[in-house]
Copies of this chain bind each other. A is one copy, B any other.
Amino acid sequence: MNKVYIAGIGQTPVSESWEKSLKELAGDAGLIAMEDAGIGYPDALFVGNMMAITANRQAQLATLMADWLGFHHKPAISIETACSSGSAAFRMALMAIASGELESALVIGAEKMTDSPGSEITASLATAADAELEADFGLSFVGLNALLMRRYMHEYGWSHADFANFSINAHANAVHNPNARFRKAISKDTFTKSPMISDPINLMDASPVSDGAAAIVLSARPIQTEGKNISVIASAAMTDTLSLQNRQNTIKLNAAETSARAVYAQAGLSPSDMGLFEYHDAFSIMAALSLEAAGFCEPGQGPRLAIDDKIKYDGDIPVATMGGLKARGHPVGATGIYQLVEATLQLQGRAGPTQVKRNKYALTQNIGGSGSNIITHILQSE
């Protein structure tokens, strides 16, 4: 697949938005990205979103956004792979450009989750699990992750407190990100004493239900922007069984591993070449499993990287450099685009106080379901 360039980026602050609708959030992010790119209207619009049809009673969100943004008589398409919908839309746009059908595309990831009662959002999130084998038995999404975390702690002998630095690091980085939801550092004490949600997952293990939108303009050609030109040099999507019970090993993210291996092979690079890893820390157990699957440590050793402070912005493998899902927030369909926007800012040297030192290559990985649909990209600064 031909190289594709990031021509512009945009994001709204992640929040509980009482003043802007889904349409307005997505529109704001799209307009900022289009202004950043400065190439007028791209050839098509791709929207990553998971639950507009339930949370906002709106299907074909892409058509609405094309209408709202003035893309009349251009193609617009909505893409959905649960919590990896943003990266899935990004990957579809890459392929459409690489096919020669489009010269450029706007990709928006958007989700507005806080308009519905909590119980409805919990039910909507549970649709990312297998309806017949998991959700119909009352398993919520946090419940599934609690099962994973408990099994992982049992298997490798970690305590709950051993996961503290994943969240502490995320919150410390979010302090400096004006678009993060929780710009407040937390202590180890805060982490360990937080209210339990689904044992062993407590409030500080979990990313927050949030509203937000982020956007990227992609182009077949490099475009002069404020910072450096950033290109997408590798893209891979992989699936695993939808239900956890069908996996031989539940505490290994198989699709994360195969998609990470695929992008390393495409780019001719290895984990040690990555200057940062924007991972999918929806829960602290996912942070550990992601580091392992992407090849930064052996299975079962994810928490060690956190305990040893290797994951800080000035460490060996910086993660969640602008707050991650935990502290920037996790508006599900938008998250993949936030990750790619943040990686772009890092590679352009525009990441502020948490700027990483090695900013030639960035790895991003977006996880749909309990590791069932995983999309991985490598970006490069030129």
Contacts and interface: CB of A to CB of B under 8 A. Distances in A.
Residue of A95, A239, A246, A368 with highest tally of chain B CB at under 10 A: A239
Given A74-B239, A81-B77, A239-B66, A127 B53 contact: yes
- 10 closest Cβ contacts across the A-B interface? A75-B237, A98-B99, A59-B127, A99-B99, A60-B82, A95-B99, A58-B131, A66-B239, A63-B373, A78-B80
A54 B131 CA distance: 12
Contacts of A368: 60, 63
Interface in A88-145: 88, 92, 94-101, 123-124, 126-128, 130-132, 135-136
Residue of A53, A57, A127 with highest tally of chain B CB at under 10 A: A53
A64 interface: yes
Given A101-B95, A372-B67, A73 B238 contact: yes
B96 A60 contact: no
Interface string A13-24: 000000001010
A338 B95 CA distance: 25
A324 interface: no
Contact of A369 (B63, B127, B242): B63
Contacts of A246: 67
Nearest to A100: B1
B98 A64 contact: no
Contacts of A372: 60, 63, 67
Interface in A281-295: none
Specify how many copies of this chain sit in the oligomer: 2
A239 B63 contact: yes
A99 B241 CA distance: 27
A19 B239 CA distance: 28
Contacts of A132: 21, 23
Given A53-B127, A100-B98, A255 B73 contact: yes
A73 B254 contact: yes
A240 interface: yes
A101 B372 CA distance: 21
Nearest to A64: B242
A59 B2 CA distance: 31
Interface of A: 1-2, 21, 23, 44, 50-51, 53-54, 56-60, 62-64, 66-67, 71-82, 88, 92, 94-101, 123-124, 126-128, 130-132, 135-136, 235-243, 246, 254-255, 258, 368-369, 372-373
A1 B77 contact: no
A24 to B, nearest CB: 11
Contacts of A254: 73
A51 B60 contact: no
A131 B56 contact: yes
A352 to B, nearest CB: 34
Given A53-B51, A54-B53, A239 B76 contact: yes
A231 to B, nearest CB: 16
B127 A74 contact: no
Residue of A57, A124, A243 with highest tally of chain B CB at under 10 A: A57
Given A57-B135, A67-B239, 15 more contacts: A1-B99, A1-B100, A2-B99, A54-B54, A57-B127, A63-B368, A64-B130, A66-B239, A67-B241, A71-B239, A73-B240, A75-B237, A77-B237, A92-B92, A95-B96
